[in-house]
Structure 1
Amino acid sequence: MFSIFNSKKFLASKLGEFTDIHNHILPGIDDGAKTPEDSLQLLTYFKELGITELICTPHTISDYYPNNPETIIDAKQRLEAFLVEKNQNDFKIRASSEYMMDSSFADLIEAKNILPLKDNYVLVEMSYLQPPINLREILFKLGNAGFIPVLAHPERYAFYHKTMDVYTELGAICKFQLNALSISGYYGPGIEKVALQLLNDGKYEFLGTDTHHMRHIEGLKKVKLSGKYELALDRIISNTNTTFSS
């Protein structure tokens, strides 16, 4: 028997004027796009998906990508100049960062040397191996400094998968951002299962693509979602646009 809850729709058909708040398309400063040409290739396919407004979030990781507002803004300006040169005028690009909650992050908070996504929202991540031992202290410190933490892809932290109640606890002190590819099995069935559970439970506030390269773009084109989760996804897409559109 046919059921709307068993039918599936392509995620791409729902994005429309979606504002992507998590991507790595700024050239040459992390593990995303390497050159402005790479950035433009990604942007061209983003446009096909209906995405022309992006908040770029290169990694800030002290030991690997020691970015700061100056390096990030410089990369943004280089990309914008390249787009002007190529007569690519359809994109609205803003700059922020995805901040690793490592040993140096507390110093950035103290100095307020942070580029928010918009207003006082700050995108943060943690290691996929284990959480920081002072995770809650870091999140509270960020909040006490006047920022709102947005935890990138909580579904990808496999060390929490057997203690799902932790997500309820963390959700009380930060916002959750879903990676679009997580609901497709791209990162594995375990992550997909947790992502769908968190989506169904209403834990997510925002959606991002976390695009680094063309494999991610190709994956995004293939993402399908069953009708069971459609309203939950609509809610976080709408909330992302309302909160972060320029």
Structure 2
Amino acid sequence: MFEFLKSRNNNTSIDTLPVTTDIHSHILPGIDDGSPDIETSLQLVQGIYDLGIRKTVATPHVICDLYRNTPAIINDALQKLAAACITAKINISITAAAEYMLDDYFLQLLKSPAPLLAIHKNLILTEQSFASATDNLHHIAFEMVTLGYRPIMAHPERYHFYHSNYEAYSRLKDMGFLLQINLLSLTGYYGKPVAKAAKYMVANNLADLVGTDMHHFRHLEALKDKKSLHIFDDLLGKKNWNDLDAL
């Protein structure tokens, strides 16, 4: 028990995350299942700032028939939040992209002349349904790479259909996906099978990026928990995570 503390002095205080850039969050107000309003957004932003985050990329969902967020909708919410942060004197850099569900609507967007909203340069954050794997994933990945995008698969450790065969994570990388794990996955927040998969990916150098996937105050409180911070430091502290220019 508490193996993550064995190599550390028990009196060591860890107050920040092992990253200064967050590339996955739902902190924009009122446009998906994340923050419902600007007041909540400001509190979440202040919370991650206190945890050492100095740059955050908001990634609202884009999902067919649920969250058809457009660049205009996303940028409007971004401008409101950025202005509110200036007023509140929170010195954090906030940009926005999207977390694209790999559904039929995404294929329409991919074929559109309008560019997708990127995390950085050509990096595009994608996700699958938690219910089942995407049937045509190879095709979608091929189309994205052909168009010059580098796809990121969000939280693959949370997809239960990969838990019986971890080779699936290597296959995702073979398709061209970078893999992003949620920080809280490492703590058991989403359950033991998810934690086991996340730790496997980190231990085997399959994880390329980490993110808060911040939606609400429960996520923030779990990230601030001292036990969580020690776990992050022990498992992730030896690598320079989320250096987007280095990818």
TM-score, normalization by structure 1: 0.89
**Alignment equivalent of 2:130, drawn from 128, 131, 139:** 128
CA shift, 1:152, in A, is 0.4
**What fraction of aligned residue pairs are identical, expressed as a percent?**
37
1:192 and 2:195 matched = yes
TM-score by length of 2: 0.89
What is the aligned-residue RMSD (CA, Å)?
A: 2.3
Tell me whether 1:219 sits opposite 2:225 in the alignment. Answer: no
Structure 1 residue runs of 5 or longer lacking an equivalent are: none
Q: What is the CA–CA distance in structure 1 between the aligned matches of 2:128 and 2:217, rounded to whole Å?
A: 24
Q: Is the Cα contact below 8 Å between 1:12 and 1:220 reproduced in 2?
A: no
Residues in 1 aligned to 2:224 and 2:88: alpha-carbon distance in whole angstroms? 26
Structure 2 distance, partners of 1:51, 1:213, is 16
Instruction: Give the Å deviation of 1:68.
Output: 1.3
What are the Cα deviations for residues 146-183 of structure 1, in whole angstroms up to 9, with x where unaligned? Answer: 00001000100011110111111111221000100000
- Give the superposition deviation at 1:118: 0.7
Q: After the TM superposition, which parts of structure 1 deviate over 6 Å for at least 4 consecutive aligned residues?
A: 2-5, 8-11
Structure 1 distance, partners of 2:42, 2:137, is: 36
For 1:109 and 1:184, the matched residues in 2 are separated by 35
CA distance in structure 1 between the aligned counterparts of 2:74 and 2:84, rounded to whole angstroms: 15
Is 1:203 the counterpart of 2:206 in the alignment? yes
Determine the C-alpha separation between the residues in 1 that align with 2:188 and 2:131.
20
Paired residues of 1:7 and 1:226 also in contact (CA < 8 A):
no
Read off the aligned partner of 1:214 and give its amino acid letter.
Answer: F
Q: Paired residue for 1:78, among 77, 80, 90?
A: 80
Structure 1 residue 101 displacement after superposition: 0.3
Asked whether 1:98 is paired with 2:99, we answer yes
**Higher alpha-carbon deviation: 163-172 or 217-226:** 217-226
Which residue does the alignment assign to 2:163? 161
Q: What code does the residue aligned with 2:217 have?
A: M
What does residue 181 of structure 1 align with? 184
Quote the offset at 1:242 in angstroms: 4.6
TM superposition shift of 1:221: 1.4
Corresponding residue pairs, total: 237
Task: Encode CA deviations 1:126-155: one digit per residue, 9 max, x unaligned.
Answer: 000101110111111111110000100010
Q: Which runs of 5+ in 2 are unaligned?
A: none
Tell me the secondary structure at the aligned position of residue 240 of structure 1: coil
